[in-house]
């Protein structure tokens, strides 16, 4: 099956079927060190065993750039080549820090005219998951990078991402989460030991709208640049937006500033609600500010439903989310439930 233009006007790339090709790319970090290099090798074998072909981008095992797999130009070239390949999915091999530097070398006008493909990645990959949606009208997936598929038996979050790529439309949060990922050995996974607690704010009934978001560390960098098309996106989607946001390096004060910046930039003018992940570096109080009052003081006055500490972000496990898809998001039995409404 080919691409589908949904009722919300977004383009859904074709779901994957066995025999399809997946292109591995490194638009940010490459898998040049442990545990990632070993995990990538094992993950490739497991993906091939599922019946898929693999194209390995030239940068995926490199560390030739400044805090990146290669120069910005060569990382962008790898993306453009993969978009023109036979691959149905571009799967990033890692997050990182400076993926934003490839953006001037990507031809988004040309990309918009190409045959749509899925792009899936996490964290710094927000640079593409977000912009492919807002600039090109393609759905994308904020989900696990390739090395995360190394486990002998895939964790629920990776299994969900795989099944999402095959067409699954119903997802639920996970029972517990992990608080530490230190001293990781290449083939040892994390343990989820902490009981999950989602805090609902202004929530009375399920919210519906088009999902949009990613890592807020990256998103705030787009404001006021040529990559900020959120006002246009909001205008094109009068049905409203459900923002999903998570943070990596931001402390509680920086998180509060980021919410303020996006609010003042008008990004939330069309918001129907918010899904907020567990912020990796803001799970504590700093100068009287924590993730709760940062949210209540800045986003609370909007009066929109908010689900805090959802299964999303750098504190695993994290739900894969389709950027640009219309969805119904509910909070039932102390858990988050996402049903996609226009992607079947």
Is-contact 247 278, C-beta < 8 A?
no
Q: What percent of the chain has pLDDT over 70?
A: 98
Among 50-59, 131-140, 177-186, 279-288, the least confident range = 177-186
Strand blocks (E) in the chain = 4-5, 11-12, 21-25, 53-56, 89-92, 118-121, 140-142, 170-172, 176-177, 194-195, 199-201, 207-215, 241-246, 271-277, 306-310, 321-323, 326-332, 335-340
DSSP letters spanning 164-230: HHHT--EEE--SEE-S--TT--TT------EEP--EEES-SS-EEEEEEEEEHHHHGGGTTSTT--H
Q: What percent of the residues of the chain are helix, what percent strand, and what percent coil, each to the nearest 5?
A: 30, 25, 45
Closest CA to 150 of 189, 111, 180: 189
* pLDDT of 181 higher than 70: no
As its CATH architecture, domain 171-340 has 3-Layer(bba) Sandwich (3.50)
Reported as a single tens digit per residue, the pLDDT across 233-278 is: 999 999 999 999 999 999 999 999 999 999 999 999 999 999 999 9
Question: What pLDDT sits at residue 204?
Answer: 96
Reported as a single tens digit per residue, the pLDDT across 307-335 is: 999 999 999 999 999 999 999 999 999 99
* pLDDT of 192 higher than 90: no
Q: Identify the residue with better confidence: 151 or 83.
A: 83
By the 10 Å C-beta count (0-12 exposed, 13-18 middle, 19+ buried), 66 is classed as exposed
Q: How far apart are CA 123 and CA 218, in angstroms?
A: 8
Question: What pLDDT sits at residue 7?
Answer: 67
* pLDDT of 226 higher than 80: yes
pLDDT, mean over the chain: 95
Q: What is the DSSP letter of 114?
A: S
Within 10 A of 50 (CB to CB), how many other CB atoms are there? 12
169: its two tokens: 């439309």
* pLDDT of 104 higher than 80: yes
Query: Across the beta sheet with 326-332, what order do the strands follow?
Result: 170-172, 335-340, 326-332, 207-215, 241-246, 271-277, 306-310, 199-201
Is residue 186 very low, low, confident or very high in pLDDT (cuts 50, 70, 90)? confident
Is residue 1 very low, low, confident or very high in pLDDT (cuts 50, 70, 90)? low
Reported as a single tens digit per residue, the pLDDT across 5-57 is: 776 789 999 999 999 999 999 999 999 999 999 999 999 999 999 999 999 99
What is 4-169's CATH number? Answer: 3.40.50.10740
Question: What pLDDT sits at residue 180?
Answer: 66
Is the preceding peptide bond at 35 cis, omega within 30 degrees of 0? Answer: yes
Question: What pLDDT sits at residue 25?
Answer: 98
Is-contact 261 220, C-beta < 8 A?
yes
Q: How far apart are CA 15 and CA 144, in angstroms?
A: 17
- Lookup result for tokens 């640049």: 225
| 171-340 shares the fold of 4-169 | no
> What are the extents of the domains in the chain?
4-169, 171-340
């Amino acid at each position: 099956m080919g691409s589908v233009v949904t009722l919300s006007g977004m383009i859904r790339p074709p779901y994957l079927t066995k025999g399809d090709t997946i292109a591995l790319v490194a638009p940010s970090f490459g898998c040049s060190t442990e545990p990632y290099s070993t995990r990538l090798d094992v993950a490739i074998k497991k993906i091939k065993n599922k019946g898929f072909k693999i194209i390995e981008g030239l940068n995926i095992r490199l560390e030739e750039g400044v805090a990146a797999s290669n120069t910005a130009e060569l990382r962008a070239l790898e993306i453009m080549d993969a978009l023109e390949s036979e691959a149905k999915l571009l799967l990033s091999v890692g997050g990182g820090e400076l993926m934003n530097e490839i953006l001037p070398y990507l031809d988004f006008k040309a990309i918009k005219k190409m045959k749509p493909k899925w792009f899936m990645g996490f964290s710094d990959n927000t640079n593409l998951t977000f912009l492919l949606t807002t600039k090109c009208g393609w759905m994308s997936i904020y989900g696990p990078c390739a090395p995360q598929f190394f486990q002998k038996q895939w964790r629920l979050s990776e299994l969900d991402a795989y099944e999402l790529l095959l067409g699954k439309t119903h997802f639920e949060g996970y029972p517990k989460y992990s608080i530490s990922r230190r001293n990781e050995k290449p083939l040892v996974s994390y343990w989820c030991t902490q009981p999950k607690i989602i805090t609902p704010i202004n929530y009375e009934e399920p919210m519906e709208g088009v999902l949009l978001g990613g890592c807020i560390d990256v998103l705030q960098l787009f404001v006021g640049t040529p990559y900020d098309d959120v006002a246009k996106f909001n205008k094109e989607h009068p049905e409203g937006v459900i923002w999903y946001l998570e943070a990596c390096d931001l402390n509680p004060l920086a998180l509060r500033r980021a919410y303020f910046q996006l609010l003042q930039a008008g990004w939330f003018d069309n918001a129907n609600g918010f899904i907020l992940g567990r912020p990796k570096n803001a799970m504590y109080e700093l100068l009287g500010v924590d993730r709760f009052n940062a949210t209540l003081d800045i986003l609370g006055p909007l009066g929109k439903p908010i689900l805090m500490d959802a299964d999303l972000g750098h504190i695993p496990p994290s739900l894969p989310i389709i950027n640009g898809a219309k969805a119904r998001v509910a909070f039932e039995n102390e858990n988050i439930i996402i049903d996609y409404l226009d992607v079947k």
